[in-house]
Amino acid sequence: AVVLKQLPSGLLLVTGPYKINGVPLRRVDQAYENATSTSVELPALPDTLTDALFKRKAKPTKNEKEMFVENTAEEPKISAEKIALQKEVDALVVPAVKSVDMLQSYLRSVYTLRKRQYPHKM
């Protein structure tokens, strides 16, 4: 994933980009990010990329009678605003990724760690 910026909450804002490897815009704790020496010059990103974009609506509380009724709530759907923002960010990031030699194929490759495999010892 490509790190776009650090958010005020301390989390990192990353993207795949979605067009290349299917990773959408998301927040990631720094502890889960494996840094490499590769850097990409990105143009200015939209100002709407903040922590507020990722807040979820609070679920309504249930009273005692509703507690045992089968859950009929719909699954959360991705808003049109987030889809448009993802396409906008991809339009900025994909050309920058393609400008670096072999970075696109690196981002498409599958990367996993198993037991006793440490990224700093590879």
Greatest Cα-to-Cα distance within the chain, rounded to the nearest angstrom: 61
| CB neighbourhood size of 97 (10 A) | 20
Residue 32: is its pLDDT beyond 70? yes
In which element (H, E) is residue 58 found?
A: none
Question: DSSP class of residue 78?
Answer: -
Residue 85 binned pLDDT confidence (cut-offs 50, 70, 90): very high
Residue 27, pLDDT score: 95
Q: With 90 as the cut, is the pLDDT of residue 75 above it?
A: no
Structure token digits, residue 107? 């981002």
pLDDT of residue 90: 96
Predicted pLDDT of residue 95: 96
Closest CA to 51 of 27, 68, 83: 27
The chain-wide mean pLDDT, for the chain, equals 89
- What is the pTM assigned to this prediction? 0.80
Token pair belonging to 82? 């987030």
Task: Copy the structure tokens of residue 14.
Answer: 């990353």
Residue 67, pLDDT above cutoff 70: no
Position 49 scores a pLDDT of 93
